[in-house]
Every structure is written in C-alpha cells, then in structure tokens.
Amino acid sequence: MQTDLVAALDIGGTKIAGALVDDHGRILLRAQRPTPAKEDGDTVMRAVEDVLRELTAAPLWVRAGAVGIGSAGPVDASTGTVSPVNVPGWRDFPLVDRVRAVTGGLPVELVGDGVAMTAAEHWQGAAQGHDNALCMVVSTGVGGGLILGGKLHPGPTGNAGHIGHISVDLDGDPCPCGARGCVERIASGPNIARRALDGGWRPGVDGDVSAAAVAAAARAGDKVAIASFERAAQALAAGIAATATLVEIDIAVIGGGVAKAGEVLFAPLRRSLRDYATLSFVQRLTVAPARMGTDAGLVGAAAAALTRDRDVSAL
Amino acid sequence: MQTDLVAALDIGGTKIAGALVDDHGRILLRAQRPTPAKEDGDTVMRAVEDVLRELTAAPLWVRAGAVGIGSAGPVDASTGTVSPVNVPGWRDFPLVDRVRAVTGGLPVELVGDGVAMTAAEHWQGAAQGHDNALCMVVSTGVGGGLILGGKLHPGPTGNAGHIGHISVDLDGDPCPCGARGCVERIASGPNIARRALDGGWRPGVDGDVSAAAVAAAARAGDKVAIASFERAAQALAAGIAATATLVEIDIAVIGGGVAKAGEVLFAPLRRSLRDYATLSFVQRLTVAPARMGTDAGLVGAAAAALTRDRDVSAL
C-alpha cells in the first residue's frame, strides 16, 4: 500500500484540527473539536483522540505514512511533550506517545505552531523559493519560525523562531514571559490596542477595542492609532533585523490578525527596517504578507512530517 | 599526493596571518605581515600575497588541498568579496579570486572573522561537543558566529552570527552602523570605558582608560566600574537570550579582550541571562569563556575549509 498521505494535527487553545493531507498539500479529509482548554489533561487528550478517530476510521487512512503535529508552545520535540501556555492541564504532556498509541505506531513529528506555519509558507506560500526566511504570526501573541539553508529549522526542541520573546528594549515594560521589552509586549494586537487607549484613542459606538478597530482608526487618519501601529512596526523591525543579522534571512513573512491591517502596519515596518537592518548583508531584506490562510497550521504540520531532514523542493 | 593540510588566512585590520594547518588543527608553518590598512587595495593585497608566497614556497605546500580565509567583515562569500570596515582600500574587493590566482586554483572558503573564531571553538575549544552554540568576541567590537545542528552556520554571505549589531535597545544611543542600541554600542570595550568615565570613574596614574583598567577598578570595588560592566553584561545577556530564543543554542562562548575581565563580566552576565532567557527551552543555556587563544582565527579558517558541508566530528 502506498503511503502518500500524512495525518496533520493543529492544536491551539481554541480548537483542535486534524486532516489527511497529500504530498501536494491538499486536504482530503478534515476533523475538528473545540479545545476543552480549562479541563484536565486527559480530557484535552480525549478531544485529540476524537479528532484522530475520525481520521483513522476513514478508508483513506491506510495511505497515511506519518503524523505531523503543530502545537501551541512551548513544545519539546526532544521528549515529545507539550506545555501550551493556554492549556494548563498539559504540562510536559506526552503528546507524541499518546498520538502514536492511537495511530498504529506511525512516526510522529512534533513542532511548535510558529514552526508549522513557517513550513506551510515555505512550501506553498509567501516564502516559497526562499532558502532563508523568517515567518511570523502577529496576533494575540507573536510567534514565528525559520527556514535556513532551504530547510525548516525547528531546533532541537521544535521551538526555534520564537521572535515574540526576544527583547528589543532591555529596560522596557515587563513581559508575562518574565523578560522585558519583548517584541510581543510591544507589537501584539492587545498591546497595540492598549497603547492606543493609553494615548487617548476611543472606540466607536460598537465599543470595539481590538487592534483591528485601531487599524481602522489609523486608516481614517487618527494620529494616536497611527502612532501605536508605528511603535509596533518599530519593534517588529528591530526583531526582524536582529534575526537577519544573526542568521541571514532575505524575507520576513508576516501573518496573523495584526498583519490584516495591511499598509497601516507594512508601510511603517518597511521604513523602520531601513533604520535597523543596516549591515550590507541584510539590506536586501524584504517583508511580505503571509499567503496561507487558516489552514496554514494543518498544511505546515503536514509539511513538517513530509520533509523531516529533506528539502521542501523534494516534495 | 595526499592533501591532508589546508592553508589558512586570518585577515584583520592590524595583521595578516597565514599558516599551513593539519586535520588535527596543528599549525605546521606560519607567516605574517602587518596590514597596510591605510593603503590602497592592491598594496593590501600584496601583503596577503607575501604571506601566501612564504607558504607556497615551503616543501609542505604540496600537501595543501584547500584555502580557508577568515576576514574582518563584512565579507560576501556569495561573491567572494570583502569590505573590512578598518581597511578602506578594500570595498567589494575580490579576495577569493586573487587568493585562488596565487594558490594554484585550490578551492577557497571565505568566512567572516566571527564565524572563523566559532569554527575554532567548536572544533577544539569551549564549544566542542555542542551541536548548537553561539561564539562571540567582545573586544573593540563585538562579533560572533553560530553552530547549528552540529555544523558551522556561516549563512549565504558568511556573516551570520553578527550579534554585535542586533539592537537590544530600540530607542538607544546611535550606533556607527546606523541603527540604535546595538549590543556592541553598549558592551564593547571602548563603550565600557566611556560609560565608566561618563559616570565619574577616573584612571590611575598610568592614565590607562581601557576596559581592562575599568575591570581592575571593578575588582577593587569601584561602584561606577562595576555598574559599567553590569550594563555591558545586561546587553550581552539580552543579545545571547535573543539568539537562543531564535535558533536554540545551549552554550554561548565568549572570548576577546573584554572577556579577560573574568567574573567581573561573567557573574553579572549569568545573573542577567536569568532575566532574559525565560522560555522553557532556553533556560538550560550556559556561558563559558573562550579557550582558543590568538590562533583561533587561523585554526577556525582551517576548520571552515576542512568542514565545508561536513560535521566537524568527521575530522
């Protein structure tokens, strides 16, 4: 029997999505459950098992040769465990063993969700054809992943590319991670909204205080809203430039809800990049919006399973 | 004829060193010239050719199979050119072609000096046995290089690991590179001395205002001197933690003149690392002083030539 498919799991704080994916990145079968994020670890695992059972019960399952998991982090690929911040019932939870037990012993590849999204953008999205890339999600949090030398670089524990928690302001505001002035502390959606409110911006009659509402105000010319996006762009630029200076990337791909602000974010980001990406070998660095949609997590988990130690161009 | 040796060149703003190095990292023959750094490009190249001529004239030369070059940066390995900041006569200078022309067409590997130092520490120094490491030189400037997945990671242009010019203080003091708040702008020797002087520290009767003199004062209990080293340590910690968070390293090796301050630097550095390296997968990160001496550049250039696309453990 040909095993030309992989099973993919995308595990977040809100939903657990599963799919059977072929080697062209097409999703042939889907299953999904809400994440019982407040429950104990075994209850959360039962939701994962429910998703997997729908996949293993399908006639297509016989063609599945591996399982790829992209999970909210931190993860530890070296031990096969996960400790998602938003799922307190899972701390060092042996997800890989538990998944392997219900999928007939198939090989299981675990990566963080930022790494999975990166694998998807490199395979079929905005980072396609780029051998050295940073891909990011700027949303409630800020995550990311790296392509280095044409290959996914998950790092030994599957967490590499965690750009949200590098400090770009060493004396800055305390971050929930324990450090100060992290990129996420300045550039995430909630921090963009908080800074706008602190500066005197007020929501419309709908009471929407999201970053999307701040973006709409910025487009309408509100100076405080514009300034809050500019500060987020500055922090993102410093973090992206740091990454390029450290590992030599030539593109940064940005997705997530905050990236939907479009030029309200990207215009000041390109300006700020010129301020921080100064050395000769990083001046060619460009930024681009992500192209993969809500399936990026599933497609990326599939890519991670399909490309273990291989170049994505081999697919 | 067995080609078990490589020719190594270490090109800096002060001296041009050359050597024949065996596959155990032993230096069998040396040559050296002062760098005529203020002269035109061809004059500087003649000094390199003088060094190479001493090597090619030796009976051992027949055993040389490749040339490794570690050069002051920026370099561009993709075009074989160098533009060392302190050698204004060389801008996009075709060093690789010129070296190949006088070494009988041997393959030539070009990397930045930080990358070369890293190759040496990984091969025979403090990073030995570590598959994921950052090695740094903290001196007049701050440079570095990366080992990722057991291999040297020079990046496409040979400049990866340039930790001195990542911004850890996005609103900070302007750096000569054009950005603000770079690690080098806070942690280099001259900046440690400047900050101590600005804070009221005064040199002894010898008038020595070097970072080494500030370190001596710190050891004697001078509070301003101690604070200047603590600030440098904080910037280094933020930069090292950023690197670990981005690519997952488990050790940072620090050499260069400033590292000779010993615990005056390393004690606050270890404390500050706990403040910035907060995520689970970077908490095991350690720091260690470099072990390779003044030959690190030559040994590292040799390692870079010996290990192209190979793991150093293959040596």
pLDDT of B314: 61
- Closest partner CB to B166 (pick from A157, A169, A242): A242
Tokens of A136: 């990011």
pLDDT of B312: 58
DSSP per residue, A190-244: HHHHHHHHHTT----TT---SHHHHHHHHHTT-HHHHHHHHHHHHHHHHHHHHHH
Q: How far is A134 from chain B (nearest CA, A)?
A: 10
CA B71 vs CA A131, B41, B68, B99, B267: distances in Å: 25, 15, 10, 13, 31
- Closest partner CB to A177 (pick from B168, B235, B279): B279
Summarised one tens digit per residue, pLDDT across range A254-277 is 999 999 999 999 999 999 999 999
CA A141 vs CA A87, A114, A244, B191, B200: distances in Å: 15, 11, 21, 35, 43
Residue B3: pLDDT band (50, 70, 90) is confident
Summarised one tens digit per residue, pLDDT across range A226-239 is 999 999 999 999 99
Summarised one tens digit per residue, pLDDT across range B92-142 is 999 999 999 999 999 999 999 999 999 999 999 999 999 999 999 999 999
Mean pLDDT calculated for residue range B42-57: 98
pLDDT of A226: 98
CA B74 vs CA B52, B86, B253: distances in Å: 22, 10, 21
pTM above 0.80, yes or no: yes
pLDDT of A2: 75
Answer whether A276 sits within 8 Å of B167, measured CB to CB: yes
Residue B315: pLDDT band (50, 70, 90) is low
Residue A3: pLDDT band (50, 70, 90) is confident
Residue B10 has pLDDT above 70, yes or no: yes
ipTM for this prediction: 0.94
Summarised one tens digit per residue, pLDDT across range A99-108 is 999 999 999 9
Which of A75, A157, A167 best probes binding to B when mutated, by most B CB atoms within 10 angstroms? Answer: A167
Cα gap A287→A273, rounded to integer Å: 9
Which residues in chain B have their CB less than 8 angstroms from residue A243's CB?
246
CA closest to B148 among chain A residues: A155
The answer to whether B194 and B241 are in contact (CB under 8 A) is no
Summarised one tens digit per residue, pLDDT across range B228-279 is 999 999 999 999 999 999 999 999 999 999 999 999 999 999 999 999 999 9
Cα gap A43→B87, rounded to integer Å: 65
Q: Which domains does chain A have, with CATH numbers?
A: 5-113+296-314 (3.30.420.40), 126-289 (3.30.420.40)
If we measure between CA atoms, which residue out of B47, B57, B79 comes closest to residue B7? B57
CA closest to B176 among chain A residues: A278
Summarised one tens digit per residue, pLDDT across range A118-173 is 999 999 999 999 999 999 999 999 999 999 999 999 999 999 999 999 999 999 99
Query: Could you tell me what percent of chain A has a pLDDT over 70?
Result: 97
* Side-chain half-sphere exposure of A194, counting CA atoms within 13 A: 11
Mean pLDDT calculated for residue range A174-198: 97
Residue B88: pLDDT band (50, 70, 90) is very high
Mean pLDDT calculated for residue range A193-204: 97
pLDDT of A195: 98
Longest dimension (CA), chain A: 64
pLDDT of A185: 97
- Closest partner CB to A159 (pick from B179, B235, B248): B248
Mean pLDDT calculated for residue range A238-242: 98
Which residues in chain A have their CB less than 8 angstroms from residue B235's CB?
170
Strand-pairing partners, residue A8, are A19, A68
- Closest partner CB to B242 (pick from A76, A156, A166): A166
Which residues in chain A have their CB less than 8 angstroms from residue B250's CB?
156
Summarised one tens digit per residue, pLDDT across range B180-210 is 999 999 999 999 999 999 999 999 999 999 9
